[in-house]
Structure 1
């Protein structure tokens, strides 16, 4: 069964905003005048196509208020550019920060949309000079753009990768410093990372290596590395809610069983540390 209800679309995400923030999050909105844990992250934190994403499951398991600040295809720049959301996260007892890919960042080579960081806006002169043969006018997304650059010249592409990884580390340290509360890095994967030097353009989070996470360990309270089990991956889209047209996208995101596994680990960590 590909979807829970053939006539259904996505779950009711009850989209909401907090204060003056222009960013949209999954609701229902949470009260901020009582102690809470803030969870920042991408598509999995938001809970695309699942009724109960892991932040909601963690709240149920621990009895703690959890503010879900995840966004589909999120990037660090969207968070760093929103003072309201930074203040909400900084007011939490603790922050769980899902490790995001390095592709959705402004850098010396290209610019991204200020809120939807997966949107490629324009190539900077440095990138146009490096890849003179590439027409950037038809490219709309960062992953697509990087995939094309790699096809054109793997060697020149590595210069862009080095830039993105350096910028990612700098922005991560900036975000952790601004929050000034205990931060747990949550690295969720579907398999073991490739050896250093190898790259899977379909990976999520993209361009992230264990060396990068190790470099951040002195700056955070915890690092939680979770590999989704083969059993959970084998369930595919079972239990997910989406329209038939969304099947190709739904097949790429974690389902309810994966959320349950992540929630169990996160809940246990929060119980030990708060």
Structure 2
């Protein structure tokens, strides 16, 4: 485990932009020409606290450029609203899309920040009517809000969760349709896909995404890769992660280098299909 002085940023993410996008992605920057793979996703794809996240490991093992378009806490919305990201993904030989949770996107119950999708912006009149006793001005993050609503009104919350699931399937289909390249879905989590949306719960990613939801996307993608972290990877904790003491709690909530290595290995067979010699 690596530590730096409190408040330091010990890992250089070499931030870069692609086109006119307002997002700062993890570098080093790659040229969007020739044969390359693109990786869209959230915190795991970005590789927070990880020296060599799985897109970089795939690049090492394939010898082909891999463009990391991961964005911390991303939902589908941030990519759907970014023309330059969609263009970069469309020009790739293949695009890997990490399965994100269903909570970080706007829907008929609430809106999220257009770029920081984990930020709760406003409840709609529908949600305020369902949870009339709740003061929504107290919430700044989607997970906090949803956890509270699940606690105060489990039956009512089930309606909200169903809406998020249906919106997730529709939004993911739209995102895949707007990428003019083969899209491979990547399930990267500490638990395998489940049949029930309330298992293991809002605290675990990808929140609310079930086996049925993944099957609904199977017909429009080039494949689904299951990179569920094994017990050894889960037990390794923050070993090998690079963070300050101040960031230790945040790092402990994420998958470590062993899980990234396993994800890269799981992706290699289908990646070779599109980028092999």
Q: Normalised by the size of structure 2, how large is the TM-score?
A: 0.95
C-alpha distance in 2 between matches for 1:104 and 1:230: 27
- Give 1:47 deviation, angstroms: 0.2
1:97–1:185 Cα contact (<8 Å) kept: yes
1:30–1:67 Cα contact (<8 Å) kept: yes
Q: SS of the counterpart of 2:225?
A: strand
What 5-or-longer segments of structure 2 have no aligned partner? Answer: none
The Cα offsets for residues 1-58 of structure 1, whole Å up to 9 and x where unpaired, read as: xx31444634100111111111111011110122110000010000000110000000
1:121–1:140 Cα contact (<8 Å) kept: yes
Instruction: Report the equivalent of 2:100.
Output: 100
The Cα offsets for residues 196-226 of structure 1, whole Å up to 9 and x where unpaired, read as: 2533111101110000001110110111112
Distance 1:258 1:105, change over 3 A: same
Are 1:72 and 2:72 an aligned pair?
Answer: yes
Distance 1:194 1:183, change over 3 A: closer
Instruction: Report the equivalent of 1:253.
Output: 254
Are 1:220 and 2:226 an aligned pair?
Answer: no
- Give 1:156 deviation, angstroms: 0.6
C-alpha distance in 1 between matches for 2:249 and 2:216: 35
2:94–2:274 Cα contact (<8 Å) kept: no
What 5-or-longer segments of structure 1 have no aligned partner? Answer: none
- Give 1:134 deviation, angstroms: 0.6
Distance 1:247 1:197, change over 3 A: closer
Matches within 5 A, 1:158-197: 158-196=158-196
Could you tell which deviates more after superposition, 186-195 or 58-67? 186-195
Matches within 5 A, 1:9-24: 9-24=9-24
1:9–1:241 Cα contact (<8 Å) kept: no
1:39–1:96 Cα contact (<8 Å) kept: yes
Are 1:268 and 2:269 an aligned pair?
Answer: yes
Instruction: Report the equivalent of 1:206.
Output: 207
- Give 1:273 deviation, angstroms: 4.4
Instruction: Report the equivalent of 1:51.
Output: 51
Q: SS of the counterpart of 2:178?
A: helix
Q: Normalised by the size of structure 1, how large is the TM-score?
A: 0.96
Q: SS of the counterpart of 1:189?
A: coil
